[in-house]
């Protein structure tokens, strides 16, 4: 818009809707970040907050003891990362980042809880 020097109203209706959805997405993202930071800032002693994200499923070379073409066989894995903020003293939060590679490919709540327990 700025390069072509056109106003929002001059855009096609589909482009206007896309920009509106993008603006809403950015506002929601900022709100989530603010809420997370507020939770971290207000943790009581020994309380924690978890931020968990499934990165992706991918294949990982695992058969390094095989010969020839079997050497390059790959197994599917999922990558899940968690950031944990725990209050360890007066207004002193400890931050830990945990990354788990697992052969469990479904992203369910039960799997998330299992990862947290470990």
Whether residues 36 and 82 share a domain: the answer is: no
Read off the pLDDT of residues 11-43 as tens digits, 9 standing for 90 and up. 999 999 999 999 999 999 999 999 988 988 888
Q: How far apart are CA 6 and CA 85, in angstroms?
A: 45
Q: In terms of domains, do 53 and 74 share one?
A: yes
- Residue numbers of the domain that contains 80: 45-118
Q: What are phi and psi of 18, to 5 degrees?
A: -60, -45
51 and 106 part of one domain:
yes
Residues 6 and 58 in one domain: no
CB 88 within 8 A of CB 94: yes
Q: What pLDDT, in 10s, does the model give residues 80-99?
A: 888 888 888 777 778 888 88
CB 64 within 8 A of CB 76: no
Same domain, 65 and 14: no
The answer to pTM > 0.85 is: no
Tell me how many domains the chain contains.
2
Is 90 in the same domain as 103? yes
């Amino acid at each position: 818009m700025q390069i072509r020097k056109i106003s929002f109203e001059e855009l096609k209706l589909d482009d206007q809707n896309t920009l509106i959805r993008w603006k809403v997405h950015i506002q929601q993202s900022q709100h989530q970040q603010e809420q997370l930071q507020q939770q971290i800032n207000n943790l009581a002693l020994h309380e924690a907050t978890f931020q968990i994200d499934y990165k992706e499923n991918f294949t990982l070379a695992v058969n390094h003891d095989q010969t020839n073409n079997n050497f390059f066989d790959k197994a599917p894995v999922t990558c899940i990362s968690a950031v944990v903020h725990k209050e360890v003293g007066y207004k002193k939060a400890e931050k830990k980042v945990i990354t788990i590679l697992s052969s469990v490919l479904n992203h369910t709540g039960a799997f998330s809880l299992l990862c947290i327990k470990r």
